[in-house]
Each structure stands twice: as C-alpha cells, then as structure tokens.
Amino acid sequence: MDNVANEGQETMFQFRLMTVADIPDVMEIEHEAFTLPWTEEAFHNELKHNHFAKYMVMELDGTAIGYAGMWTIMDEAHITNIAVRKAYQGRKLGEKLLDELMKTAAYLGMERMTLEVRVSNVVAQNLYQKKGFESAGLRKGYYSDNGEDAMIMWAVLPPAGRSGEEEGSVMDS
C-alpha cells in the first residue's frame, strides 16, 4: 500500500490484479479518460483469453480510481492502457500507476517496455520521458477517431529482485 495526501489527510491506495468484476468501474474510467475507449468485450477478452495480458487496478479507500495494462511477450512489455478517473487526475497517480506497471514488468522478467501515445498528448509524453522512455518513431494515422499519429516510445527496465517481497507489486498468478 502507498499513501497519498488528499486535501490535508493521508489516504491509502493499493494495486491489485484486475478481475472481470472490475470491468464496470474500468469502463467508467475508460470513458472518462479516452476519446476512443475500449469496449467491455475487449476487456473480457483481455482478462479471459489473452495469456500475455496483465492488468491491474489502483484502489483508493477500496474504490477503483485507475487501471493499467500491458502485454508481456518474450522479454518485452507493451503498455496497452493507463488511465485515472478524471476526479483524481493531476495528483501524480498516473505516474504511480506507471511506476507499478514498470516494476511489475521487471519482476516478470521483462527487459524493455514500449507504448504508443498520441503526438498531441504532451503531458503523457513528458511523464514517459521522465520515466526513461525515448521516442523511436511514429505510427502514421494510428488513432482511428481522428487519424492522429502515435509516437512509439521505448524504455529499458531496471532489473528487479526476485524475492517476491516487493510490497504492492502485482505478481503473475
């Protein structure tokens, strides 16, 4: 568990594996965060059928306020989504989600991590750069809602300990 200051008081939040029961909350977050949200069916498929998929939920006082996902293939992790409820944005919680996702990927043996981000999303690009991601090119017309290009970014992950004692880390089940 981690602490976060919330209007002068300490509030507890934690990370855990996403389950099918989380999909309604995740859909709310998805629609708040993205102009091109995933469908419920997509999340069902990810959780039930994609053995490369790893998704986590960030809870604040027992309520889902964010989630993140990745695919782990060979020694590479591909971030699929990171999102925080609109009411909690601007509190560096997306950064905490990214930290947890990177830590989990390293724990699972991933050596590198990649993602796509809208070229117009400078805030996200700055966060990714802060965490060691570097631009590696563009995917032209990647986003189907407006044809916007996606910047491809890569980071090398630091090796993680294998003791299983990383507090708050989501372990592979």
- The catalytic residues are 116, 128
As given in the structure block, the two tokens for residue 18 are 């996403």
Residue partners of 122: CB distance under 8 A and separation at least 6? none
CA dihedral over 68, 148, 88, 23, signed as positive or negative = negative
- Other beta carbons less than 10 A from residue 60's beta carbon: 18
**Diameter of the chain by CA atoms?**
45
* Token duo for residue 71: 């695919």
CB–CB of 149/138 below 8 Å? yes
DSSP letter for each residue of 68-120: EEEEEETTEEEEEEEEE-GGGTTSSHHHHHHHHHHHHHHHTT--EEEEEEETT
